[in-house]
Amino acid sequence: MDRLQAMQLFVRIVELGSFSKAAEQLGMSRASATALVKQLESHLGARLLQRTTRQVSATLDGRSYYQHCLSILAEIEEAESVFSRSAQHPRGHLKVDLPASLGRLVVIPALPEFYARYPEISLEIGIGDRMIDLVREGVDCVVRIGALDDSTLVARPLPPLPQVTCASAGYLARHGLPTSLDQLEGHRGVDYLSATSGRLQPLEFGVDGQVVTRTLPACLAVNNGESYVAACEAGLGIVQVPHYHVQRQLAAGSLVELLPQHRPPPLPMTVLYPHHRHLTPRLRVFIDWLVELFQG
């Protein structure tokens, strides 16, 4: 039994939840994959996987062995990269999770440039605003926007995202254009609820180097960035969003920036990855590329 191949297969089965998909990715038949896992379980004297007609998942022993396999495989890859062309020409598969609007509007449109540099790296990108479990879902890294809670993950700061306060042209035609913070009285907002905490996020404004907050009456609350911008475009009130998310609408004039002399503070942004993943060559170049992308 090739134990390294068995570890690689076992990891992919756990992450994909399928013998067939894992075997296909590693270029082997399902029968060969099944036989190799049986040999591995026999060698370890433990049942690693539980199988049903619908899915495959790790047992308690399997979950522990999975964590060890990830560390071992990452260490091997990192050691080999020192003596191989992979340090200069990274290759392999990365599983990444991105906030929905950031992925759709910024990262994915820029991927042709990434693939031109690193044609031997393949990406699997999850798009959404839910908080995921990187270890359980086998994700190599995630990008988070906003302040971080305490985390056992490795965190690397990305360039912060400039924000703007804006409203639709239709809303301003009905309610007038506020030119000072005092003139916000009588205006409406769209409430944004944190997807992680559920707490209402007040509007923030920069005043003489300090941050002051305002909460406007609202008839709608959302917990998703796409819905937040859609509500603003529908004329339901004033919002604060990263500039990239409304750049097209601002340029077209359908949305208008308000109070540019009191812009909200930039949003912190971070890329996170598990300690046991280490910084493999392909993960390192992807994170470096993200830094370069957001600096631009």
Q: Rounded distance, CA 272 to CA 178, Å?
A: 39
Q: What is the CATH number of domain 88-160+268-295?
A: 3.40.190.10
Domain boundaries, the chain: 3-81, 88-160+268-295, 163-265
Residue 25 neighbours by CB under 8 Å, 6+ apart: 12, 16, 93
Same fold, 3-81 and 163-265: no
Predicted confidence band at 61 (pLDDT cuts at 50, 70, 90)?
very high
* Residue 167 host element (H or E): strand 163-168
Q: Tell me what percent of the residues of the chain surpass a pLDDT of 90.
A: 63
Q: DSSP string spanning 50-89?
A: EE-SS-EEE-HHHHHHHHHHHHHHHHHHHHHHTTSGGGTS
What does the block give as tokens for 79? 């050691």
For the ranges 39-48, 74-83, 267-276, the lowest mean pLDDT is seen at 74-83
Predicted confidence band at 75 (pLDDT cuts at 50, 70, 90)?
confident
Residues constituting the chain: 296
- The 10s digit of each residue's pLDDT in 235-280 is 999 999 999 999 999 999 999 999 999 999 999 999 998 875 567 8
* 3-81 CATH fold: Arc Repressor Mutant, subunit A (1.10.10)
Q: Tell me what percent of the residues of the chain surpass a pLDDT of 70.
A: 93
Q: Are 165 and 259 in contact (CB under 8 A)?
A: yes
Q: Rounded distance, CA 42 to CA 36, Å?
A: 10
CATH 3.30.300.340 fits 163-265, yes or no: no
Q: Rounded distance, CA 127 to CA 176, Å?
A: 37
Eight-class DSSP state of 238: B
Between the CA of residue 78 and those of 48, 87, 123, what are the distances in Å? 26, 9, 19
What does the block give as tokens for 44? 């370890």
Residue 119 neighbours by CB under 8 Å, 6+ apart: none
